[in-house]
Amino acid sequence: MFQVETGATVYAEPCPCCGKERRASFGFVHENGDTVAFYYAALAPLSHSEKSVILAVSLGDWGHEVDPSTRLAAVMRARAVEGEIEIAFLEPSESPVKDRAQLGPILSRSDVVKNVACDRFVGIAGAVLLDDADVNEYVAR
């Protein structure tokens, strides 16, 4: 069971494809009292033909002194398709996080499905989509 702790700030930033403003939310994910992941969710501008959330999730220790290379990250796209949430992995180059080094190594689409952490990335993405209020409102409306 994951607990999602959303950051206080929602950023507005230009969408890389069209330059229109998109919102982004970020925060940490806890499990049994431990911080187990960081997430960053970029919400596609409403001018896009389809609503989608680009989500970077980085598993690992997010303490201040920790070497980021000990973390492991993946990038996903979530869309609402006929009332169901569909989650697909993306390539590292599609990460919405500018400071990629902080996330640790980002797995490619072909590597993430072979990684033992694959289900964990999807589980955390599901928790963020439900429990980050801004993200949930965006996908549900």
Q: Which residues bind Zn ion (CB under 5 A)?
A: 15, 17-18
If the CB atoms of residues 18 and 101 are measured against Zn ion, the closer one turns out to be: 18
Nearest distance in Å: CB 113, Zn ion: 27
Compute how many other C-beta atoms are within 10 angstroms of the C-beta atom of residue 102: 14
If the CB atoms of residues 42 and 125 are measured against Zn ion, the closer one turns out to be: 42
Residue 100 Cα to chain centre, angstroms? 13
Specify the DSSP element, H or E, that contains 77.
Answer: strand 72-81
Least Cα distance to 118 among 94, 96, 87 occurs for: 87
Nearest distance in Å: CB 105, Zn ion: 27
If the CB atoms of residues 46 and 113 are measured against Zn ion, the closer one turns out to be: 46
CB 30 within 8 A of CB 3: yes
Nearest distance in Å: CB 31, Zn ion: 33
